[in-house]
Amino acid sequence: MNQIKVRIVSGYFEDKTCANLITATAKVPGDAISAMALFETMSGIYDATSDMIRPALMRAMLRKTLRSPIIFETVMDWMLDVAHSIEGV
């Protein structure tokens, strides 16, 4: 997951390439530990990414949550925090 974070935050790749990488990463099957690792990576890079990549991050987290419902509460809290920061609430 660290290499994915480095590649996305580096700015070396275009936004569409980063979004495709995020989408592909979310489709990889795994257990609850890999789902938490994905969540930690995606939530950690959310603020460092552009507005073009952020929707892909949100979709990836929703997709992974459907496959690993054990992280539902964590992902929901994070998404609510993001929504509140966008709205300025």
Tell me: the pLDDT tens digits for 29-85? 888 888 899 899 888 888 888 888 999 999 999 988 988 899 999 999 999 998 898
Task: Identify the H or E element spanning 20.
Answer: helix 15-27
Range of the domain at 27: 2-87
- Give the separation between CA 86 and CA 80, rounded to whole angstroms: 10
The single-letter code of the amino acid at 47 is D
**What is the model's pLDDT at position 47?**
86
**Tokens 């809290």 sit on residue:** 77
User: pLDDT confidence of 26, banded at 50, 70, 90?
Assistant: confident
* Cα end-to-end span (Å), the chain: 32
* In contact, 67 and 29? CB cutoff 8 Å: yes
The domain tally of the chain equals: 1
How far apart CA 4 and CA 48 sit, in angstroms, is: 13
